[in-house]
Amino acid sequence: MLPSNSVAKITAKTALKNKWLQAITVCLILIVVFLIQIFFEQMIRIFVLESGKFLDGVDSYAGGLWNGILNLFLTVSSLALTFLLVFPLVLGVVRWFWRMTGEAKDTVGVVFYYFGTGERFKRSVAVFFGLLWRNLVVGLLSFIPFFMAVILTNFAAEYDINQIMLFSVDFGNVINTIFLILGCVVYLILTLRYYMVLWVTVACPRLSVKQVFKTSVGFAKGTKAAYFVFILSFTGWAFISFLALPLLFTLPYFIAANAVFSRFVITNANLKASKV
């Protein structure tokens, strides 16, 4: 049986008792690394703009070529930093909270666990890459009707063939909005099946990446709706977090509560399996 939202939150608060400073530090490490990445990207972007302006004054073709090369470099370096630095660290943070809610007494330095060996590092990157391409495929499939409707509406507007298309451009825009909303709903439903992936990764370190996704989808069956309602219960906390400083308290609380919820999901699934 899954816990109520209040039970999961109370359990998370209990687990965080006397560990708030460590939990905040763990989250702060992740936030600082994320901000450093953004700073790095912005510095390169400024360099690209300034160098492009200089070259444009000398040779417009050279300036355009230089901008294209540096923008490509910016994209590649950003992706590389995300995959090679941020993602393993995120998984390390998830692991720290998973173990903390299981009464482990890990130090803050354990967040760098997935940088410890090449095998752990490759596994963390592979898990996030698996999540990325699955979400991209699901996103493309979910929004195909929306993309087609937009193309059709733009075609009708450009060539003024509303009567042939049997609808006005204004009506087409309404249809576009409907398909956009439906696409978002479908995308949400389909991607929720992966909500346990990170928790299964840290809870079952011996599973292969393929097994992690298969097991996670199994755990998500019958629990996606409950998890969605659970996440919605943090809406108020999310708005408070926009003030920045409260994020240092709401983020540890949110991750800890997710760890507790996931523990209940896994325990419940194991109990059901043992009765079969």
More reliable by pLDDT, 190 or 77: 190
Model pLDDT, residue 149: 80
Query: DSSP characters for 43-62?
Result: HHHHHHHHHHHHHHHH-HHH
CB–CB of 224/192 below 8 Å? yes
Tell me the pLDDT tens digit for each residue of 251-268: 999 999 999 999 999 998
With bands split at pLDDT 50, 70 and 90, how would you rate the model's confidence at 64?
low
**Rounded percentage of the chain residues whose pLDDT exceeds 70:** 82
Per-chain mean pLDDT for the chain: 84
At residue 276, does pLDDT exceed 90?
Answer: no
If pLDDT is split at 50, 70 and 90, which confidence band does 157 have? low
Residue-wise pLDDT for 98-141, tens only, equals: 999 998 889 999 999 999 999 999 999 999 999 999 999 999 99
How high is the pLDDT of residue 35?
85
- Band (pLDDT 50/70/90 cuts) for residue 5 is confident
What count of other Cβ atoms lies within 10 Å of the Cβ of residue 3?
18
**Amino acid type, 89:** L
Range 165-192 average pLDDT: 80
Using DSSP, state whether 102 is helix, strand or coil: coil
Higher pLDDT among residues 74 and 20, named by residue: 20
Please give the DSSP secondary-structure letter assigned to residue 3. P
pLDDT of residue 168: 56
Per-residue model confidence (pLDDT) at position 271: 76
Task: List, for residues 188-239, the tens digit of each pLDDT value.
Answer: 999 999 999 999 999 999 999 999 999 999 999 989 999 999 999 998 887 8
Tally the C-alpha atoms within 13 A of residue 141's C-alpha that lie toward its C-beta: 12
Q: Give whole-number Cα distances, 244 to 239, 240, 241, in Å.
A: 10, 8, 6
Residue listed under structure tokens 């700073």 = 39
Q: Is pLDDT at 272 greater than 80 in this prediction?
A: no
**What would the pLDDT profile of 31-44 be if each residue is shown by its tens digit?**
898 888 778 777 77
